[in-house]
Amino acid sequence: MTPRAVEAVVRGRVQGVFYRASLRREAEARGLAGWVRNRPEGTVEFRVEGDADAVAALLVWAERGPPHAEVAGLRVSEVEPDPAARGFAIRR
């Protein structure tokens, strides 16, 4: 397993459409750790880490989002993996 960690901001109609809960479900299904939260300006921000292939697959999903989302853009930044990261949380 090659580890990879990213932080991302998703723009578009991504709040009020179950984006956070759906992203958590997708991340957990891929065995990834991290968190997701709404930001005040209407975007969604998340950090995810784990196997590089699983992270890449989640980023492909994040560009579409759940059925009612309308993703206008995804800005991704590579970050250092945290060896202690466990689980996936929805932050408020």
Q: Which residues are catalytic?
A: 20, 38
Tell me the residue type at 83: P
Give, for 50, the enclosing helix (H) or strand (E).
Answer: strand 44-51
Looking at residue 34, its amino acid is: G
β-bridge partners, 8: 46, 76
